[in-house]
C-alpha cells in the first residue's frame, strides 16, 4: 500500500478514534468548570438565577390555579402546591449536588423528581408533570454526565406514561427526546465556548510572559551595552590620558630638577610626545565610535600600527580573514591594553606581538622580555616618571580584557613568563 494512502488511513483512524473518545467522555464525564455557565459576568449569572426563580414560581402558580378537569377540592390544590414546592426544593438540591459532583446525592434527588412527575400526572396537572420531566433534563446536560440526563429522561418518561395510563407514551417520549438533543447541543456549545475562553486566557498569559521576557532581554541588552561603553571609554581615555600623564610628569620633573643645558630640548620632546598621545587618543576615540556604529576595520593593520607605535615587533601567522565587529574590537583592545601595560611597567623590555589566524579562532600573544642592550637606556627622569605612574589608569584593564574574552566565549591568560610578562587571548572567530 502506498505510504501516502497509509498515512491518510492512519490519520483518519486517529481522528475517528479521537472523536469517538470525545463522545464517550461527553456521555460519561462531568462537564468542565468553564462550561457550567452560559455567561462569564457574575451579574449576568445572578440575573439568570433570579429569572429562573421567577419562572419557577410562575409555573407553580399556573399549575395550581389552572388545574384542569373542573372543580377540585381545596385539599387537592394544596397537595399539588406542596408537591410543587417539594419539586422546586429537590431541583435546587439536585443542582447543588451537580455543582459539587456528588453523584449519590444527585441520583437521590433525580429519583424523587421522577416520582414527583408521576404524582403530578396522578393529581391531574399534566403541565407540571411535563415541566418536572423536561427542565431537569436540560440542566442535567449542562451540569452532569450526559448519560445521567438520558437515564433520568427515560425513567421520568416511563413514570409519567404509567401514571397517565399509557396513552401519553408517544408525545412524552418525543418531548423528552427533543429535550435531550437540545440539552446535548447546548452543552457542546458551552464546552466550545469554555475551550475558546481557555485558549484566549492561555494566549494572554503567553503574551504577558513574552512581553516580560522581551523586557528582561531589553534590560539585559541595555546593561550589556552600558558595560561595553564603559569598557570602550576606559580603553580610549585611560590609555591616552595615562600615557600623556607619564610624559607630562617627566617634563615636570625635568623642569624642577636642575640638569644639563639640553634639558630644555628634553622637556620639549616630552611635551611633543604628550601632544602626539592626545592626537592618538582622538583618533582612537573616532575608531571606537566607528566600531559602535558597526563600521568594519581591518584588525591586523590596527594591531600592526599599535605595535609599531610602541616600538614592538609584530608578526602575523595564518591566512588573514575578516572578523566580526565584537571579535575585532576585542583583539584590538586587548593588544592596546597589553602594550600600554608593557610600556608602563617594563619600559626597557623588548615586546613581541603575535597574531595567529587559527581554524575557528584567533590568538593574540603579547610578550615582553628583558633586553640587555636596552638595560641602561632609561634616563633618570624617565625612571622617576615610570616609578611614580606605574599604577596610572583606572585599574580596570585586566578585568576589562577578561570580560571582553568571556563575552565572546573565549579565554584570556595573563601572568609572568621568562622573566617578563605574557598576555594570551584566544577567541572564536
- 276-287 pLDDT, tens digit per residue, is 878 777 777 776
Whether 198 maps to a domain, the answer reads: no
Q: Are residues 136 and 274 in the same domain?
A: no
Domain that residue 151 falls in: 31-167
Q: Are residues 252 and 381 in the same domain?
A: yes
Q: Are residues 369 and 277 in the same domain?
A: yes
Q: Are residues 253 and 398 in the same domain?
A: yes
Whether 270 maps to a domain, the answer reads: yes
- 374-397 pLDDT, tens digit per residue, is 555 444 434 443 443 333 344 456
pLDDT of 148 above 70: yes
pLDDT of 183 above 70: yes
CB-CB contact of 389 with 262 (8 Å): no
Which residue among 167, 198, 224 closes a domain?
167
Rounded distance between C-alpha atoms, residue 271 and residue 278, angstroms? 11
The per-residue pLDDT of the chain, averaged, comes to 76
**Segment (H or E) for 275:** helix 263-293
What pLDDT does 171 receive?
Answer: 83
- 213 pLDDT band, cuts 50/70/90, is very high
C-alpha cell read off for 308: 609599531
Q: Are residues 13 and 40 in the same domain?
A: no
pLDDT of 249 above 90: no
What pLDDT does 37 receive?
Answer: 67
Whether 200 maps to a domain, the answer reads: no
What pLDDT does 353 receive?
Answer: 93
Whether 194 maps to a domain, the answer reads: no
The arithmetic mean of pLDDT across residues 398-410, rounded, is 81
Rounded distance between C-alpha atoms, residue 309 and residue 286, angstroms? 18
- 82-108 pLDDT, tens digit per residue, is 888 888 888 888 888 888 888 888 888
Q: Are residues 124 and 249 in the same domain?
A: no
The arithmetic mean of pLDDT across residues 355-372, rounded, is 88
Q: Are residues 15 and 38 in the same domain?
A: no
Whether 187 maps to a domain, the answer reads: no
Rounded distance between C-alpha atoms, residue 179 and residue 305, angstroms? 92
How many structural domains are present in the chain? 3
Q: Are residues 18 and 55 in the same domain?
A: no
Whether 204 maps to a domain, the answer reads: no
CA angle 166, 172, 178 (to 5 degrees): 155
How far does Cα 154 stand from its chain's mean position?
52
Q: Are residues 135 and 280 in the same domain?
A: no
Q: Are residues 15 and 151 in the same domain?
A: no
Q: Are residues 39 and 23 in the same domain?
A: no
pLDDT of 296 above 60: no
Rounded distance between C-alpha atoms, residue 238 and residue 231, angstroms? 10
Q: Are residues 290 and 340 in the same domain?
A: yes
Whether 208 maps to a domain, the answer reads: no
Backbone torsions φ then ψ of 297, nearest 5 degrees: -135, 135
- 168-182 pLDDT, tens digit per residue, is 777 888 888 888 888
Amino acid at each position: 500500500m502506498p505510504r501516502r494512502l497509509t498515512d491518510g488511513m492512519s490519520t483518519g483512524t486517529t481522528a475517528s478514534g479521537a472523536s469517538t473518545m470525545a463522545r464517550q467522555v461527553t456521555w460519561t464525564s462531568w462537564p468542565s468548570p468553564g462550561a457550567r455557565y452560559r455567561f462569564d459576568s457574575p451579574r449576568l449569572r445572578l440575573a439568570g438565577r433570579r429569572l429562573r426563580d421567577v419562572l419557577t414560581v410562575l409555573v407553580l402558580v399556573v399549575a395550581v390555579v389552572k388545574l384542569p378537569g373542573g372543580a377540585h377540592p381545596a385539599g387537592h390544590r394544596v397537595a399539588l402546591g406542596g408537591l410543587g414546592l417539594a419539586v422546586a426544593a429537590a431541583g435546587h438540591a439536585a443542582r447543588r449536588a451537580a455543582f459539587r459532583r456528588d453523584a449519590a446525592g444527585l441520583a437521590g434527588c433525580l429519583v424523587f423528581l421522577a416520582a414527583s412527575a408521576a404524582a403530578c400526572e396522578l393529581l391531574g396537572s399534566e403541565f407540571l408533570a411535563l415541566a418536572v420531566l423536561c427542565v431537569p433534563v436540560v440542566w442535567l446536560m449542562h451540569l452532569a454526565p450526559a448519560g445521567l440526563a438520558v437515564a433520568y429522561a427515560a425513567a421520568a418518561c416511563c413514570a409519567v406514561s404509567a401514571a397517565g395510563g399509557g396513552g401519553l407514551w408517544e408525545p412524552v417520549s418525543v418531548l423528552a427526546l427533543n429535550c435531550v438533543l437540545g440539552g446535548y447541543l447546548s452543552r457542546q456549545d458551552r464546552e466550545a465556548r469554555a475551550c475558546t475562553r481557555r485558549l484566549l486566557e492561555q494566549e494572554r498569559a503567553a503574551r504577558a510572559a513574552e512581553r516580560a521576557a522581551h523586557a528582561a532581554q531589553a534590560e539585559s541588552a541595555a546593561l550589556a551595552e552600558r558595560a561595553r561603553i564603559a569598557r570602550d571609554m576606559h580603553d580610549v581615555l585611560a590609555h591616552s590620558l595615562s600615557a600623556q600623564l607619564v610624559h607630562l610628569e617627566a617634563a615636570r620633573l625635568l623642569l624642577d630638577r636642575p640638569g644639563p643645558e639640553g634639558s630644555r630640548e628634553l622637556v620639549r620632546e616630552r611635551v611633543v610626545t604628550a601632544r602626539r598621545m592626545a592626537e592618538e587618543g582622538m583618533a582612537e576615540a573616532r575608531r571606537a565610535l566607528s566600531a559602535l556604529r558597526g563600521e568594519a576595520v581591518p584588525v591586523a593593520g590596527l594591531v600592526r600600527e599599535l605595535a609599531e607605535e610602541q616600538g614592538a615587533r609584530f608578526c602575523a601567522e595564518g591566512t588573514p580573514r575578516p572578523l566580526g565587529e565584537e571579535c575585532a574590537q576585542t583583539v584590538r583592545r586587548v593588544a592596546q591594553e597589553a602594550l600600554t601595560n608593557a610600556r608602563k611597567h617594563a619600559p626597557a623590555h623588548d615586546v613581541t606581538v603575535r597574531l595567529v589566524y587559527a581554524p575557528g579562532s584567533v590568538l593574540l600573544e603579547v610578550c615582553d622580555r628583558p633586553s640587555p642592550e636596552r638595560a641602561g637606556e632609561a634616563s633618570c627622569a624617565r625612571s622617576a616618571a615610570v616609578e611614580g605612574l606605574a599604577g596610572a589608569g583606572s585599574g580596570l584593564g585586566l578585568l576589562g580584557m577578561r570580560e571582553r574574552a568571556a563575552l565572546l566565549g573565549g579565554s584570556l591568560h595573563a601572568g609572568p613568563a621568562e622573566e617578563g610578562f605574557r598576555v594570551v587571548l584566544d577567541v572564536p572567530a
